[in-house]
Amino acid sequence: MLAERPITPATLSRKDLPWQIKWDINTCTKCGRCTSVCPVNAIELGVFRKRDVKPPMGLSAKPTTEFSTFYGIRQRTDPAYACIGCAMCNMVCPNNAIEPSRQYDSTTLQFQNNRGGQPRTRGGRRNNSESLLDQIKFIRISMLTDPALDAGRHEFDVRTLLGRVLSPEAEIKCFRENGWKPPVREIYPLVIGGMSFGALSPNMWEGLQMGVAYLNEEMNMPVRICTGEGGCPPRLLRSRFLKYVILQIASGYFGWDEIIHAIPEMKEDPCAIEIKYGQGAKPGDGGLLMWYKVNKLIAAIRGVPSGVSLPSPPTHQTKYSIEEAVAKMIQSMSMAWGFRVPVYPKISASSTSLAVLNNLVRNPYAAGLAIDGEDGGTGAAYNVSMNHMGHPIASNLRDCYKALCVAGAQNEIPLIAGGGIGKHGNLAANAAALIMLGASMVQIGKYVMQAGAGCLGSEKDRCNVCNIGVCPKGITSQDPRVYRRLDPEKVAERVVDFYLSFDTELRKVIAPLGRSTSLPVGMSDALGISDKDAADRLDIKYVI
């Protein structure tokens, strides 16, 4: 540091940074790879000057001072360039000479994160490592009267329904009278949730689509992927793979022109239409695609100028009331595809979820309800939204399921739960717990990025720069220099891998419960938790 460096209120020392760079002078070959790969320019090549005082032998000779210079890596302390702990530097270093390490006692950067009066926005997860879903145990394990099944060899039917299912009475009446039946899709209960083409890099998106197509066509698993807002590449819209895709529309209507124009040329109907009213990471906000990521391609697909930020308006900007909005949107979307495609809304879990649900119960065209809990989200959102807003998914889902039970509609409107599933890697256990709490299917986003493409983000505020287009892995960047790091084929392979292992684990959970011919939706007697309040709230067993 220069002697005359000014010390201002925002000046930080290295000690103040949560992520510290450990650099080893002895093994560093000074190749410069780490500095060139660092997504936030947290490190730079530095020239260091060193003064050595050499005291000679004897009493008469005076000590001499020697100066030397050496080259090395310097960590910047400007809060705008603080290290995010992504460890890309370590990944590219040939000698492991550099690595970030977390320093838990430094909180100072938090106070400097909001620069120029702008609060911090980021991508990534909620910075909270608790997980209620991980605490839930499956306690109903059949031992005597009901022999457990062999998870590896028994025949299992792991399928769920997406779409408005008629009640048995209505179904029989409809059959007799040859009436209109709402479209229903039989799909795999783990859905890849909405991550838009603008948010993800083309390579990531292509990899996901390839993985999903492979699972459907080669592995006989009807996996579905949601596009997120922002439209869909025109070639996909006109391909036979569209049937594996759930198209999302949100309040910004980005990309919908393209979709509507493609309808006459569609060879297949999409699996479903998801109308996004909210998502877990930024409840109440619209989507936010920051200008860094709006390149020419994204701009063309979305039908907007390039290089501008694209915030979707908050939920009901174009609408008069939620009842009207939901009903109208569902109806017009259904109509666009001749009532052959299920249409359902997605909301962020909140204390008003029940009101939305009550609304849907009476709407014959509503095909389901997706609820996204507070833990969700990868896209750009304000720090405060991501960390402090929203409702946990488990109790919200449970309330909705119980409301459906009271209305007698629990087979009729499928609930899709999302938010925090597999956040510690326990994907199958978390998904099974939500299914037993009443979800017909679950959706995941971040997990796909972590398992499918090696996203570095964690619950400890690691990485989380998805929003500014510098994703070091090339997952959420629209800059070809960065996203060419990601091989779509490899992403597809990983997606297939983790789906297959999820499938095995899910069977391992439901086989000992004696379930094989139908998904154990609402089988809450199988669940227990060691937290009395949580047990009461979720109406499951309290076990310690």
Instruction: Return all residues near 421 (Cβ < 8 A) that are at least 6 apart.
Output: 133, 393, 427, 430, 431, 434, 442, 443, 444, 447
Q: Per CB under 8 A, does 175 bind another protein?
A: yes
Site string for ligand SF4, 43-82 (x = CB under 6 A): x---------------------------------------
**Which one of ligand SF4, another protein, none interacts with residue 478, CB within 5 to 8 A by kind?**
none
Q: Per CB under 6 A, does 84 bind ligand SF4?
A: yes
Q: Per CB under 8 A, does 153 bind another protein?
A: no
Site string for another protein, 334-373 (x = CB under 8 A): ----------------------------------------
Between residues 24 and 531, which has the closer beta carbon with respect to ligand SF4? 24
Between residues 123 and 512, which has the closer beta carbon with respect to ligand SF4? 123
DSSP string, 424-468: TS-HHHHHHHHHHHT-SEEEESHHHHHHHH-----TTS-S--GGG
Q: Per CB under 8 A, does 523 bind another protein?
A: yes
Site string for another protein, 243-282 (x = CB under 8 A): ----------------------------------------
Instruction: Return all residues near 470 (Cβ < 8 A) that are at least 6 apart.
Output: 39, 40, 292, 477, 479, 482
Q: Per CB under 6 A, does 93 bind ligand SF4?
A: no
- Which of residues 32, 119, 147, 480 is near another protein by CB under 8 A? 147
Tell me how far apart the alpha carbons of residues 56 and 64 are, in angstroms, rounded to a whole number: 8
CB 106 within 8 A of CB 15: yes
Site string for another protein, 391-430 (x = CB under 8 A): --------------xxxxxxx-------------------
Phi, psi of 98 (to 5 degrees): -140, 140
Starting from the edge strand earliest in sequence, which strands make up the sheet with 137-138, in order? Answer: 137-138, 527-529, 541-542
Q: Per CB under 6 A, does 232 bind ligand SF4?
A: no
Q: Per CB under 6 A, does 222 bind ligand SF4?
A: no
Q: How many residues contact ligand SF4, by CB under 6 A?
A: 30
CB 496 within 8 A of CB 214: yes
- Helical spans, DSSP H, in 466-525: 480-483, 488-510
- Which of residues 456, 506, 509, 511 is near ligand SF4 by CB under 6 A? 456
Between residues 88 and 540, which has the closer beta carbon with respect to ligand SF4? 88
Tell me how far apart the alpha carbons of residues 539 and 402 are, in angstroms, rounded to a whole number: 10
Paired tokens of 387: 């960390």
Instruction: Return all residues near 6 (Cβ < 8 A) that are at least 6 apart.
Output: none
Tell me how far apart the alpha carbons of residues 263 and 232 are, in angstroms, rounded to a whole number: 12
Q: Per CB under 6 A, does 40 bind ligand SF4?
A: yes
Q: Is 417 helix (H, G, I), strand (E, B) or coil?
A: strand
- Which of residues 434, 521, 529, 538 is near another protein by CB under 8 A? 521
Q: Per CB under 8 A, does 520 bind another protein?
A: yes
Pairing of strands 369-372, 415-418: parallel
CA-closest candidate to residue 366, choices 301, 446, 456, 274 = 274
Between residues 117 and 168, which has the closer beta carbon with respect to another protein? 168
Q: Per CB under 6 A, does 457 bind ligand SF4?
A: yes
Q: Per CB under 8 A, does 222 bind another protein?
A: no
- Which of residues 386, 449, 526, 535 is near ligand SF4 by CB under 6 A? 449
CA-closest candidate to residue 208, choices 477, 496, 500, 416 = 496
The amino acid present at 99, given as its one-letter code, is E
Please count the CA atoms within 13 angstroms of the CA of 168 that sit on its side-chain side.
Answer: 2
Q: Which stretch binds ligand SF4 (CB under 6 A): 145-153, 234-242, 332-340, 462-470?
A: 462-470
- Which of residues 210, 288, 471, 511 is near ligand SF4 by CB under 6 A? 471
To which H or E segment does residue 217 belong? helix 202-217
Residues numbered 181-220 forming contacts with another protein, rule: CB under 8 A: 181, 184
Between residues 158 and 463, which has the closer beta carbon with respect to ligand SF4? 463
CA distances from 56 to 53, 134, 320, 461 (A): 10, 66, 87, 52
Between residues 97 and 509, which has the closer beta carbon with respect to ligand SF4? 97
Phi, psi of 161 (to 5 degrees): -110, 135
Between residues 245 and 448, which has the closer beta carbon with respect to ligand SF4? 448
CB 534 within 8 A of CB 253: no
- Beta bridge partners, 346, equal 276, 370
- Which of residues 213, 225, 435, 463 is near ligand SF4 by CB under 6 A? 463
Between residues 126 and 507, which has the closer beta carbon with respect to ligand SF4? 126
CB of 35 to ligand SF4, least distance (A): 8
- Which of residues 28, 89, 161, 421 is near ligand SF4 by CB under 6 A? 89
**Which one of another protein, ligand SF4, none interacts with residue 494, CB within 5 to 8 A by kind?**
none
Phi, psi of 192 (to 5 degrees): -80, 115
Q: Can you give the binding site for ligand SF4, defined by CB under 6 A?
A: 19, 21, 37-38, 40, 42-43, 83-89, 100, 123-124, 449, 455-457, 463-466, 471-473, 475-476
Q: Can you give the binding site for another protein, defined by CB under 8 A?
A: 140, 142, 145-147, 149, 155, 157, 161, 165-172, 174-176, 181, 184, 405-411, 513-518, 520-525
